Chain A
Amino acid sequence: NAGVTQTPKFRILKIGQSMTLQCTQDMNHNYMYWYRQDPGMGLKLIYYSVGAGITDKGEVPNGYNVSRSTTEDFPLRLELAAPSQTSVYFCASSYSDGGLAGASSYNEQFFGPGTRLTVL
Chain B
Amino acid sequence: AQSVTQPDIHITVSEGASLELRCNYSYGATPYLFWYVQSPGQGLQLLLKYFSGDTLVQGIKGFEAEFKRSQSSFNLRKPSVHWSDAAEYFCALKGDSSYKLIFGSGTRLLVRP
Binding site for B on A (CB under 8 A): 4, 31, 33, 40-45, 48, 50, 58, 90, 92, 94, 96, 98-99, 103-106, 108-109, 111-114
A103 pairs with B105, CB closer than 8 A: no
B45 pairs with A111, CB closer than 8 A: yes
Q: A99-B98, A113-B41 are in contact. Are A40 and B9 (CB under 8 A)?
A: yes
Tell me, in angstroms, the Cα distance from A113 to B34 when the chains sit together. Answer: 19
A113 pairs with B42, CB closer than 8 A: yes
B106 pairs with A42, CB closer than 8 A: yes
A40 pairs with B49, CB closer than 8 A: no
- Answer whether residue B12 sits at the interface, using C-beta atoms and an 8 A cutoff: no
Closest chain-A Cβ to B7's Cβ sits at a distance in Å of 13
Q: A42-B103, A111-B43, A111-B45 are in contact. Are A106 and B34 (CB under 8 A)?
A: no
17 contacts between A and B (CB under 8 A): A31-B99, A42-B4, A42-B104, A42-B106, A43-B44, A44-B103, A45-B100, A48-B100, A90-B43, A92-B43, A94-B99, A98-B98, A103-B52, A106-B32, A109-B46, A111-B43, A113-B41
From A43, A50, A105, give the contact of B90 (CB < 8 A).
A43
A96 pairs with B51, CB closer than 8 A: no
B42 pairs with A96, CB closer than 8 A: no
Closest chain-A Cβ to B68's Cβ sits at a distance in Å of 19
Q: A103-B32, A106-B94 are in contact. Are A111 and B44 (CB under 8 A)?
A: yes
Given A40-B105, A106-B51; 18 other pairs, CB 8 A cutoff: A4-B43, A31-B99, A40-B106, A42-B4, A42-B103, A42-B106, A43-B101, A43-B103, A44-B103, A45-B100, A48-B100, A94-B99, A103-B51, A106-B98, A108-B34, A112-B43, A113-B42, A114-B41
Residue interface mask B70-113, A partner, CB < 8 A = 1: 00000000000000000000100010001111011110000000
- In the assembled complex, which residues on chain B have CB atoms less than 8 Å from the CB atom of A48? 99-100
Tell me, in angstroms, the Cα distance from A31 to B103 when the chains sit together. Answer: 18
- In the assembled complex, which residues on chain B have CB atoms less than 8 Å from the CB atom of A114? 41-43
B99 pairs with A50, CB closer than 8 A: yes
- In the assembled complex, which residues on chain A have CB atoms less than 8 Å from the CB atom of B49? 108
